[in-house]
Structure 1
Amino acid sequence: MPNTSARPKHGRRTRRRRREDPARNELVSSSLESAQQCLFNQDYGTAFVHYLLVLNLAPMFKDFARESFRFTLFKWTEELDSVGRIQDLFDCYEQALELFPADEVILNSMGEHLFRMGFRDEAAGHFHKALKLRPDYPEARENFYRVANWLVERWHFLMLNDHGRNRKYQQAIQKAVQSGCNTVLDIGTGTGILGMCAKKAGAADVYACELSKTMYELACEVVKANGMDGSIKILHMKSLDMEVPKDIPQRVSLVVTETVDAGLFGEGIIESVVHAWHHLLLPPQRGENEFQDQSATGRVIPAGATVFGMALESIEIRRHHRICVSEVGNLSIAAAGELRSPVSCSPEPDDSMEPYTTERLSRVPGGYKALTEPFTALDIDFNNVQELEGLSSREVQQIRLPVTREGELDALAVWFQLHLDEESSLSTGPQEDTCWEQAIYPVHSTDGFVLKPQDELIVEVSCKDAFLRLCSVAVLRDGREIHLDKSPKEQDSGNPVSNPNPEAELCSALASLQTDQIQTKDFCMLECCEMALLNNRDYHQSFSSALAKLIQQLRATCPDKEDSADLSDLLYVLDVSEGFSLLSLIAAAHGHVKAYSSMEKKKQQEVLKRLARSNNVPEKHLEFWLNHTEDEHGMLKRPSREKLWSAIMLDCVETCGLIRQKLMEKASLARCLLEDGGSIFPVKIVVHGVLVESDTLLLESAVQGQEATLGFNIAPFINQFTVPVHVFLDFSTLECKRLSEFVELFVLDLMDSTANYTEREVKVQATSAGRITAIPFWYHIYLDQEISVSTLSHNSHWKQAAVVLQQPVEVRAGDWVRLAVKLHKSAMSIAAHVERTPGPMEQ
């Protein structure tokens, strides 16, 4: 041991003062000055580099420079975003967070970029961190609610509230484990519930994997809270990337999964189960030897599924997938070409199209009519790897369905029975009380064609890319085959089942090919909500009428210029609607108007140009505004040095039922760009609501009840993602009891900023006794003081939304309920307090 006594002893050592470095100080000073000068000159990239240098060399300037640094970061990343330099954008945010790791504003802003780019998991993490740093930060809270709607979809709550489904899965797992399957892998574990069921049943080793970072972290919390963190290994990865012994030490004897969507195969269950059989599972049981060691063989829960379908008529489905009108806002749309929703099924896979969408048929507005009896489309055995591998190469199967009721063919609906084992199954059928929706395969090409009893519908079923695809191809009527991809005239005439003339058949095929080429050329894809908007006659007619009134008023102020051919004398109208919109063309069609559309997609611009030509709108009277601006942030500006806008049309409400983010900021900017007498469309938005009692909304918003789910503590963790506003609501079919009349909740005045407020108190009287569980709300959108459209109307392309109360409020008929309504940007919050009317006994 060294002689410590030889070393001098010291008391508390005085800290040396850092020696001043004149060169360093000079560099910091000059860089700070350069940063400020570059910021003044709007050279944000150079300013950002100078600020990084200053704050790394001299951290004492952080408080002083924080606001300027934030501003520089946001402006520079906007520029990077506009030119597609995404990696550089995120590098800048990483550098900023190294300097300011606890800056909630920077965290929130980075989360917004991540969310827009589709990185929802990562975005959620940033919003969550920002909220932890500042719980009252409204922007981060609103963003977190939005991303929570994406990440923890409402079906998670419904599934955990579905006690029957949970018990059946638990019983099937328990039976498998007790029969010898003592090593288990839970694929797509979600909350971890199925893995915990296996452990509780006595499995020796349980593994689980989850791709979503948000759900992976949630599962880890849940497993730990239930005392199983040491006995269940959870991996943040796809099962397809898992290997033995790299990720798990051994092959397992049981795979449990519920990676199925409404169309059964949409979440990749076929690929993941085939991979599991080859790489993660023990070989399947062979032969009928009942004494075979179950622990040496593999199996899958669910064991298989049977898929059912039926043909149906539904006006609601029809208007979201094909054009049902011949004119829109007094414009003929015959020249639009073929407009389709992005949901179209074909035996040939097409990456640009989705094979199906989903609906809860029991809640489709307007209902539906079944045109055929349910039929079996497919049987699949998840414990037969050869069958799974051969699924994609199966021949296309043709099924003939007798038509039982007359109606227009709008879609094929699909559901399935999931066989957990030999004894237990779950059904996702439209008549079942289930958390599942049904898969919908819309039919695009049967406009005006009515199926009749005694017809036979020919349906093709295929699985070429491990997606279930159903396609209606023809109808057999009186021995003749009518192909559904032909025009109504061709359908009426029909074609014989067998053509005795090969030459005529060849000519017909060539003609059909030529027709297909023309359709392909004119084909344009629109979102389902855009299709529904095009089909909304009332909406477009209201806009046309309001525009006509405004144009007439403005013309009256300059009657001498009314017939002028000079473009500078025209009224300038700007449409900044999101997505596909005909409003600019409707404006231009009124005459004396030069209209600008903010539509970006070239194919959609071509549709508008074709419609302009066919409706005799001069080409020079319609322009695409974003073609003349560097990016969408320059959308709201003056059309030229001399002109101001006569009208600016803002898209105010999202399809989901929420006010668009930054609407009031856009309205404020738009007001500054209007000429005297000009107007924003709409001029105001009135929010209406109603008190309701709805168990459905509660079940879709949070795990209910005090009882643990299958004995596991899950609710407190999943309920962190409870969102107070339920979106994409169909109020017309919501199972609820109305407890009041409709009431005006809020007013947003887009033309008068002084008339606006951020909170309001509203009193509404209960008309019935019950529990207030939610306040659904919708909008009356006033295009001027007299003309309005409602987002509650039966043909609206908008859905509604509802504020779900954390604690239901008991009311009696006659009670007054005081609602404290707050609107921050697009986030609505409502608190309810009862002012109780004394009952007879209390008086």
Structure 2
Amino acid sequence: MPNTSARPKHGRRTRRRRRQEDPARDQLVSSSLESAQQCLYNQDYGTAFVHYLLVLSLAPVFKNFAKDSFRFTLFKWAEELDSVGRIQELFDCYEQALEVFPDDEVILNSMGEHLFRMGFRDEAAGHFHKALKLRPDYPEARENFYRVANWLVERWHFLMLNDRGRNRKYQQAIQKAVQSGCNTVLDIGTGTGILGMCAKKAGAAEVFACELSKTMYELACEVVAANGMDGSISILHKKSLEMEVPADIPRRVSLVVTETVDAGLFGEGIIESLIHAWHHLLLPPKSGENEFEEVSTTGRVIPAGATVFCMAIECLEIRRHHRLCVTEVGGLSMAAAGELRSPVSCSSEADDSMEPYTTERLSRLPGGYKALTEPFTALTIDFNNVQELEGLSSREVREIRLPVTQEGQLDALAVWFQLHLDEENSLSTGPQEDTCWEQAIYPIHITTCFVLKPRDELIVEVSCQDAYLRLSSVAVLRDGRKIHLNKHVELQHSGNSISNSEAELCSALACLQTNHSQPETFSTLECSEMALLNNQDYHQSFCGALSKLISKLKVQKQNQEQVSVMPAPDSSLFYVLDVSEGFSLLSLIAAHQGGVKAYSSVEKNKQQEVLRRLAQSNSVSEQHLEFWLNHTEDEQGVLQRPSREKLWSAIILDCVETCGLIRQKLMEKASLARCLLEEGGHIFPEKIVVYGMLVESDTLLLESAVQGREPTLGFNIAPFINQFTVPVHVFLDFSTLECRRLSEALELFVLNLMDANANYTNREVKVQTISAGRITAIPFWYHIYLDREISVSTLSQNSHWKQAAVVLQEPLEVRAGDWVCLAVRLHESTISISARLENTPVQMD
């Protein structure tokens, strides 16, 4: 009967609820929650975290109640684990937290930040992306995702896909190879999958692809599926060197296609991957002994080979990023610094921390460059000859003599190549080409400038040690005699005044004799640190602003001492704290003022030794310069006062990243710094004024997203890779950017580091256009005010900073005289800008 069957069901539900009421468990939950709160109060975050985990796993009903406290405990405990290097425990804690709160966007974002900082960029991107899916308006996750996107999908991916000439030539070479019988294909380093899809479209029976980057692998899978080829192209998330037959592909393939080449040709490991492919993944090459040999039984590679070109150049922009160009910085003589060089070197002394070359787009270098020699062929390579590939690293060093065609300072060797896809199709990465590639730069490391002259011959050594192309300028032949560059000192170079060649030669030979047995002292600085050191305007401005501050504080102190019965101990000293990133001379410049004890942020031992030598040679007492990070146990002590009885006279903050962005958490650091200043003390800089301009630039569009409505080679790729479009373009040289200026420069925003009440987070600015066009971007830069009168600009020609630009998602059509409203927003030191057209003319603020 219904009634009798209903009662037992009801009774079973009642009994089940009663069984859940466990007094012992409830007591454990209650006591653990109390213990968690008490441990949190006592800053015992590790124990508090364990108690919170127990409470939330036993009693999920407390999740909403304890979420904020649990998050705070997790983050503080993670900071402690990070500071002592217990990284595995840190990630274990985050994994446990995500088991309790799997859809907590704040925890996901925080874990992503730790992953990114420790180099796990793919995993970090996954956490940021998931956090954004859970909460699309979460600004921290969005900004972090933009930051990691720049690492995972580098801007050259967009440039390559926008390079129609390059795409078409690759497609033609692949189509020709497939139609000639290469019907099984492996795409090594597939990226978006475009080359593999070209092979399939050309009629290949089987297509395989591999990609090491997890982000690009997942992107390629999405692209291939969207183009209806997911069942016919097999993509592996694997390095090609780890692939085997038949474990990864069922049989050897007849064609390998790849574009794993960088500006220096071999930097992405193409030699190693092709040697492995020829031995394990590719059919053997055509022997050439039997003209009737079946094409289908042989293997081949696209590209088929390459020719590498090189020339010597003069370029101030390269010079100032790789060696010291000045003898004095901020009133300090640099004579005792020893040799300072960038971490880019092909010398035999270079270790694993050194790079053999850097990259630049020569056509966009500020100030340009001068070719001192004609281009010469440095190397040729046949990718279809495995013996040649295997013998590359053991090739004898080749010595080439280059006739000098123009007089100029020798600053670097510039390298580019012609990539031979097949007999008919090739691509050039030369500086005069409209190409998506940059050129490889091999800077010359000599302590003083060397002037090449017509009729000189430059001797260049070419080798391929460790499958890297290595070039070095070792000597110059002048009047039949050899001058070794690494030991030469050029005595004179002034305009058209050229010193006697015989005198120069004698000087060089004397230098060889006197210095031959003495090991050189050198220290390595990052390229941006070297450029900063060469920025005389910045250091001179700082020197002047600090001198004004010290003079003012001296007068203030004298007035106080006149009314004080007993002066405080060490009252004659002023304390300056430098929290700059990397190598900085500012603390030593401060100590050089006299009456100042300065605390330096330099961490590396060899760089500290440079500062000590400079201090001694510039008569700065050891007691007046201290390296405060040597005594700091963790990051929490960054701005703490070493001596509690006194406050700082000046605190120097590093406000702008070299790439052109405001440093993260700048305003939080400024807020803390203000609390640590003595009366009349100062933060350097005092304020930062952001300036910008409306421009039309197709270049910025091409580097920011795949452009156009038409599919790339007929494939639907843009919607997938454009997910990684970021709104801010960094490392921009505005002086050489191809653009049309649609407005005058205008003030966008002000960040006041000395006066918190003067700051704001949002601002609307109205600007009138000066010509018609499409607003595609808003480049911005900074005027950095050290005090009210002294400022430096990040846009100046000798600045070590680059600029940045906001790229609009949709270009804005304007006519001359239109008014455009810019909404400028600051969120945690990140600036965002949006633009809209005003319907009616409005006067600017």
Q: State the Cα distance separating 1:605 from its structure 2 match.
A: 1.2
Of the structure 1 ranges 342-351 and 622-631, higher mean CA displacement relative to structure 2 is found in 342-351
Deviation string 1:467-526 (CA, Å, 9 cap, x unpaired) is 000000000000010000114169999999x99xxxxx9x998965532x2x2xx32110
* CA distance 1:744–1:471, shift in 2 (3 Å): same
- Counterpart position of 1:225: 226
- Counterpart position of 2:522: 523
Q: How does 1:438-837 map to 2 (within 5 A)?
A: 438-445=439-446, 447-488=448-489, 514-515=517-518, 517=519, 519=520, 522-559=521-558, 567=570, 569-835=572-838
Q: State the Cα distance separating 1:639 from its structure 2 match.
A: 2.8
Deviation string 1:198-250 (CA, Å, 9 cap, x unpaired) is 11111111111101111011001000100011111111110011111111111
Deviation string 1:81-133 (CA, Å, 9 cap, x unpaired) is 11111111111111111111111111111111111111111111111111111
Opposite residue 331 of structure 1, the aligned amino acid is L
Q: How does 1:86-101 map to 2 (within 5 A)?
A: 86-101=87-102
Opposite residue 427 of structure 2, the aligned amino acid is L
Q: State the Cα distance separating 1:638 from its structure 2 match.
A: 2.2
Opposite residue 226 of structure 1, the aligned amino acid is N
Deviation string 1:587-641 (CA, Å, 9 cap, x unpaired) is 1111111111122111111111111111111111111111222123311122322
Distance 2:577 2:488 in 1: 37
Distance 1:276 1:568 in 2: 73
CA contact (8 A) 2:323 2:447 kept: no
Of the structure 1 ranges 157-166 and 80-89, higher mean CA displacement relative to structure 2 is found in 80-89
Q: State the Cα distance separating 1:560 from its structure 2 match.
A: 7.4
Distance 1:352 1:514 in 2: 26
CA contact (8 A) 1:480 1:494 kept: no
* CA distance 1:513–1:59, shift in 2 (3 Å): farther
CA contact (8 A) 1:340 1:444 kept: yes
CA contact (8 A) 1:803 1:828 kept: no
Distance 2:571 2:25 in 1: 58
Distance 2:561 2:540 in 1: 24
* CA distance 1:9–1:189, shift in 2 (3 Å): farther
- Counterpart position of 2:140: 139
Distance 1:454 1:562 in 2: 70
- Counterpart position of 1:386: 387
If the length of structure 1 is used for normalisation, what is the TM-score?
A: 0.94
* CA distance 1:538–1:781, shift in 2 (3 Å): same
- Counterpart position of 1:122: 123
SS in 2 for 1:208: strand
Deviation string 1:678-706 (CA, Å, 9 cap, x unpaired) is 11111110000001000000000000000
Q: Mind listing any 5+ residue stretches in structure 2 that lack a counterpart? A: 493-498
Q: How does 1:189-208 map to 2 (within 5 A)?
A: 189-208=190-209
Distance 1:751 1:473 in 2: 52
Distance 1:431 1:295 in 2: 39
Q: How many residues align?
A: 821
Q: State the Cα distance separating 1:19 from its structure 2 match.
A: 2.9
SS in 1 for 2:466: coil
Deviation string 1:311-334 (CA, Å, 9 cap, x unpaired) is 000000000000000011001111
CA contact (8 A) 1:347 1:469 kept: no
Distance 1:179 1:91 in 2: 55
- Counterpart position of 2:278: 277
Opposite residue 256 of structure 2, the aligned amino acid is V
* CA distance 1:780–1:508, shift in 2 (3 Å): closer
SS in 2 for 1:414: strand
Identity of aligned residues (%): 81
SS in 2 for 1:804: strand
* CA distance 1:10–1:421, shift in 2 (3 Å): farther
CA contact (8 A) 2:660 2:802 kept: yes
- Counterpart position of 1:52: 53
* CA distance 1:381–1:648, shift in 2 (3 Å): same
CA contact (8 A) 1:305 1:416 kept: yes
SS in 1 for 2:13: coil
Q: State the Cα distance separating 1:777 from its structure 2 match.
A: 0.2
Q: Mind listing any 5+ residue stretches in structure 1 that lack a counterpart? A: 1-6, 500-504, 839-843
- Counterpart position of 2:495: none
Q: State the Cα distance separating 1:569 from its structure 2 match.
A: 3.9
Deviation string 1:169-210 (CA, Å, 9 cap, x unpaired) is 001011111111111110000000000001111111111110
Deviation string 1:745-801 (CA, Å, 9 cap, x unpaired) is 000111111111111111111111111110000000000011001000000000000
- Counterpart position of 1:841: none
CA contact (8 A) 2:112 2:128 kept: yes
Of the structure 1 ranges 589-598 and 688-697, higher mean CA displacement relative to structure 2 is found in 589-598
Distance 1:526 1:811 in 2: 46
Distance 2:502 2:389 in 1: 38
Of the structure 1 ranges 821-830 and 267-276, higher mean CA displacement relative to structure 2 is found in 821-830
* CA distance 1:32–1:510, shift in 2 (3 Å): farther
Of the structure 1 ranges 658-667 and 80-89, higher mean CA displacement relative to structure 2 is found in 80-89
Distance 1:65 1:138 in 2: 24
Distance 1:117 1:104 in 2: 20
Opposite residue 600 of structure 1, the aligned amino acid is E
Of the structure 1 ranges 19-28 and 223-232, higher mean CA displacement relative to structure 2 is found in 19-28
Q: State the Cα distance separating 1:291 from its structure 2 match.
A: 3.5
Opposite residue 319 of structure 1, the aligned amino acid is R
CA contact (8 A) 1:372 1:405 kept: yes
Distance 2:24 2:661 in 1: 56
Distance 2:382 2:664 in 1: 47
SS in 1 for 2:323: coil
